[in-house]
Amino acid sequence: MRPIAFDLAGAMAYTGLSKTKLNDLVRDEVLVVRKEGTKNLFMRDSLDRYINSLPAWGTR
């Protein structure tokens, strides 16, 4: 079963992006997060959409 949301460490591991980059994307409203107390929960579908929107290299 795949999680629907990740904490910051999980989002970093899932995407390979840094803490700073993830927080910048949240601040710029590129990524959807939910709040659990003071913790951001990064939604997997939002992370997937962002990664899939990046340019692809090496594809013919």
Distance CA(16)–CA(1), nearest Å, equals: 21
Mean pLDDT of the 25-40 span? 95
Mean pLDDT of the 1-24 span? 96
Cα–Cα separations (whole angstroms), residue 20 to 11, 12, 26, 27, 60:
12, 10, 10, 10, 32
The pLDDT of residue 32: 92
What is the share, in percent, of the chain residues with pLDDT greater than 70? 97
pLDDT at 60 over 90: no
pLDDT at 59 over 80: no
Mean pLDDT of the 19-26 span? 97
Q: What global pTM score does this model have? A: 0.88
SS3 category, 44 = helix
